[in-house]
Structure 1
Amino acid sequence: MQSDRPIFVVGCPRSGTTMLQLMLHSHPRIAVPPETRFLVPAYFSRRGYGDMRLADNRRKLATWIAEGRNTKFRELGIDAEEYVRSAMLGPGSFGSVIGMVFKCYAERFGKPRWGDKRPSYYRHVEMLMRLFPDAQFVHLVRDGRDCVASLKEMPWYKPDALHAMANWAEAIDFGRRHARKLPADSFYELRYEDLTADPESELRKLCAFIGEEYDSGMCEPRHIAELAVPKHKVWHTNTHSEVTTAHSGKWATRLEPWEIAVAEEVLGERLAAYGYELTGAPKADRQQVAGYKVEAAKRRSARLRKYNRDRLTRLREPGPIAALLTEGQRVIAGLPQQRTRELLPR
C-alpha cells in the first residue's frame, strides 16, 4: 500500500526549504502548499474552539482558518465553503480540521498525499506529532553563515546578525534532538549544499525515506514555482531558476569580518559537525559573543514559557487532538480503514 503519511519540511529560515517544498510538490503524488499561518496559532488557542467532536465547533475553527486575516488561506486556491463543509462532515478531532485544509489542497491538484512547509516548525515537532502521529519530517540544513547572510538581506527580517546566528543554532539543536528521539522512519536530514550539487541522488534517497518512487520532475522545481509561489514573495525569486550551487558560500563576501569571527566561534562545533569548513577567523570580540548568548537565552526563555503554558492546557484538553484522516492515523487510534466518501461526502 502506498503511503499517505503527512510530510513536514523544517529548517532555519533561508535554508532552501521553499526549494525543497517545490521539489516535493513536483512529485505526481504529493502536494505541498506555500506557507500558511494558521496551524500553530490555532493549536495554542484550541481551548477557545471547544470540543471538535461537535460539528458547530469544527465549523467555527474552519471558518477562522478560511476567513482569518493572517491565515494565508486565500493563497491556497481552495474554495472556502467547500473546505468548511468538509471539516464539518469530517472526523471529530482538532487535527482533522487542520489536516483537512491540506487534504483539500492536495485534491485541487488531483494528488493523494500532502505535506506542509514552514521553517519554524522545527520548534513544534512534538506538537505536530500530537496532531499528526504518523507524520514524517524532513530537516534541511544549510551552512549557518549563509543563512545568517541571507537573513540579513530579507525585508521581513528585522533582528541583527547575532539573532540570526541564535536562530540557526536553535534549528540545529532541535534537529539533533529530533534525530535522537524520533523513529528512523519519521525524521530525515539532508544538506542544502548536497541537494543543489546532486539533486537526483539526494531526492532518490529522500523518496526512499518517504516511501515514494522518485520522479525526474522533482529536479526542476522552477516549472511549478510560477503556480505554487505567491507573487508577493519576491525573496523567493531564485526558485524560478534552475537548481544551482551558485548560492553556496556567498557568506564569505556578504558577512562582515566580525560576523564571520563570531559565527565561527559560537557556531563552530555545529558547523564542523555538518561538514562545513571553518576559516580560522581571529578570535571574536567578547562583547559580541556575549550579545549572541543573550539572544540565545531569550529564545530559550520564550520557548520555556510557551511550553509551560501548553502543559497546563494539556491537562484539560477540550477534545480529541490527533487527526483521523490517513490510514496510519486511524490505525494508531484503533479505528478501521476509512473510505474516501466518509471523509468528503459529495
Structure 2
Amino acid sequence: MPSDRPIIVVGCPRSGTTMLQLMLHAHPRIAIPPETRFVLAAYRERREFGDLTVADNRRALARRIVDRRETRFCDLGLDAEDIVERIAAAPGTLGSVLGTIFQQYAARFGKPRWGDKRPAYLHNVDLLLRLFPDAQFINIVRDGRDCVASLKEMSWHRKDIYATVASWARAVDDARRAARRLGPAQWHELRYEDLVADPHGKLTELCAYLGEDYDPAMAEPSAVARIAVPSFKTWHARTHSAVTTERVQSWQSRLTAEEIALCEAALGSRLQANGYELSRKVRPAPAELLRYGWTAVPQRFIPARRGLSRAASRLRRDEGLAHLPATVLPQRSAPDRRVDAG
C-alpha cells in the first residue's frame, strides 16, 4: 500500500541536501519544497498562541507564518488566505498546522506525499519526531573536507575555519545518535559521492526505503530546479546542471595545506568511519589544534542540554503536538501540475 509518511531530508550544509530535495521532488508522488524557516520557529513560539485546539489560535499562528517574509512561505507559491483557512479547519495540533502547509504544497503539483528539507533539522530530530512521529528521515553525508571547502565560499557563511570544521563533526555525531535511536525503518543514510556516481542505483535503494517505486526522472533533478529552488539562491546554481562527480574530492584544490591538515586531524576518525581516506600529508601546528579544541568544546554539551530540555517538556506535559489527518477542504483552484510553474 502506498505510504503517506512525511519525508525529512537532513545533512550538514553543502552536503547535497538541495540536490537530494530536487531528486525527491522529481518523483511523481513526492513534493519537497524549497527550504522554509517556519517549522523550528513555530515550535519555539508555540506557547504564544495558546491552546491550538481553538480555531482562532490556529488562525493567529497561521497568520504569523504566512505574513512574515523570514519564514520563506512566499517561496511556496501558495495562496496565503487559503492556507490560513485550511489551518483554522485542521486538527488542533502544531504538527497538523505545519503539515497542512506541506500537504497543500504537494497538492499544488497533484502529488499525495510531502516532506521538508533543512540541514538544521539534523540537530533537531527529537523535535521533528514530536511533530511528525512517523516521519522517514534521509541523511546525506559528504566528505567533511569538501563541505568545509564549500562552506568557506558561501556569502552567507560567517563561521571561521575552526567552527566550520566543528560543524561537520557535530553533524556526523548527531546523525550517528539518530541512526541508533530510529533504526532502518525511520533512518536512511547515503553518501553524496555514491549518489552522484550511481544516481539510478542509489535512488532505487532510497525508494525501497520510502516504499515507493523508483522513477528515472529522479536522476535528472535539474529538470525541476527552476520550480523548487528560488532564483535568489545563486549558491545553488549547480542544481540547474546535470548530476556530476566533478566536485568529489575538490577539497584537494580548494583548501590550503594547513586547512587540510586541520580537517584530517580534527575529523580523521569520523572521515574514516564514513569511508573517506586521509591524505596524511601535513600535521597541523599544535596551536591550530588547540584553537579548534576550544571551538568544539561547546558542541560536546549539546546532547546533555537536549536531554534536559526533553525532561522539562515532559514535566510541563507538553503534549498534543503530533500531526493528525487533516480535514479536507475543497481546492480553490486546480492543482498546479505544470513543470514550469513557480
User: Given residue 264 of structure 2, which amino acid in structure 1 is its aligned partner?
Assistant: E
1:75 is aligned to 2:60 = no
Q: By how many angstroms is 1:178 displaced?
A: 1.2
Q: Label 1:73 to 1:317 Cα distance change in 2 as closer, same or farther (>3 A).
A: farther
User: Given residue 167 of structure 1, which amino acid in structure 2 is its aligned partner?
Assistant: S
User: Given residue 245 of structure 2, which amino acid in structure 1 is its aligned partner?
Assistant: T
In structure 1, the residue matched to 2:255 is 255
Q: By how many angstroms is 1:318 displaced?
A: 5.9
In structure 1, the residue matched to 2:44 is 44
In structure 2, the residue matched to 1:216 is 216
In structure 2, the residue matched to 1:22 is 22
User: Given residue 315 of structure 2, which amino acid in structure 1 is its aligned partner?
Assistant: L
In structure 2, the residue matched to 1:96 is 96
In structure 2, the residue matched to 1:280 is 280
User: Given residue 62 of structure 1, which amino acid in structure 2 is its aligned partner?
Assistant: A
Q: By how many angstroms is 1:300 displaced?
A: 3.9
In structure 2, the residue matched to 1:191 is 191
SS state of the match for residue 176, structure 2? Answer: helix
Q: By how many angstroms is 1:81 displaced?
A: 0.8
In structure 2, the residue matched to 1:63 is 63
For the 8 Å contact 1:50–1:318, the answer to whether it is kept is no
Q: What is the distance in 2 between the residues matched to 1:344 and 1:284? A: 61
> RMSD value over aligned CA atoms?
1.6
SS state of the match for residue 343, structure 1? Answer: coil
Q: By how many angstroms is 1:308 displaced?
A: 3.8
User: Given residue 264 of structure 1, which amino acid in structure 2 is its aligned partner?
Assistant: E
SS state of the match for residue 232, structure 2? Answer: coil
Task: Give the unaligned 5+ runs of structure 2.
Answer: 332-342
User: Given residue 270 of structure 2, which amino acid in structure 1 is its aligned partner?
Assistant: R
1:226 is aligned to 2:211 = no
In structure 2, the residue matched to 1:322 is 322
Q: What is the distance in 1 between the residues matched to 2:320 and 2:229? A: 33
1:119 is aligned to 2:108 = no
In structure 2, the residue matched to 1:265 is 265
Q: By how many angstroms is 1:316 displaced?
A: 2.4
User: Given residue 329 of structure 2, which amino acid in structure 1 is its aligned partner?
Assistant: L
Q: By how many angstroms is 1:319 displaced?
A: 5.5
In structure 1, the residue matched to 2:130 is 130
Q: What is the distance in 2 between the residues matched to 1:86 and 1:57? A: 13
In structure 1, the residue matched to 2:7 is 7
1:177-205 superposed Cα distances (whole Å, 9 cap, x missing partner): 11111031100000000000000000000
Number of equivalent positions: 331
1:145 is aligned to 2:135 = no
In structure 1, the residue matched to 2:338 is none
- The answer to which of 304-313 and 244-253 deviates more is 304-313
User: Given residue 97 of structure 2, which amino acid in structure 1 is its aligned partner?
Assistant: V
Q: By how many angstroms is 1:65 displaced?
A: 0.8
Task: Give the unaligned 5+ runs of structure 1.
Answer: 326-339
Q: By how many angstroms is 1:162 displaced?
A: 1.2
Name the TM-score, length of structure 2 as normaliser. Answer: 0.93
User: Given residue 110 of structure 2, which amino acid in structure 1 is its aligned partner?
Assistant: G
Q: What is the distance in 1 between the residues matched to 2:68 and 2:311? A: 26
Q: What is the distance in 1 between the residues matched to 2:100 and 2:16? A: 26
SS state of the match for residue 137, structure 1? Answer: strand
Q: What is the distance in 1 between the residues matched to 2:19 and 2:139? A: 13
Overall identity of the aligned pairs, in %: 53
Q: By how many angstroms is 1:52 displaced?
A: 1.1
In structure 2, the residue matched to 1:343 is 328
Q: What is the distance in 2 between the residues matched to 1:38 and 1:317? A: 23
Q: By how many angstroms is 1:299 displaced?
A: 3.2
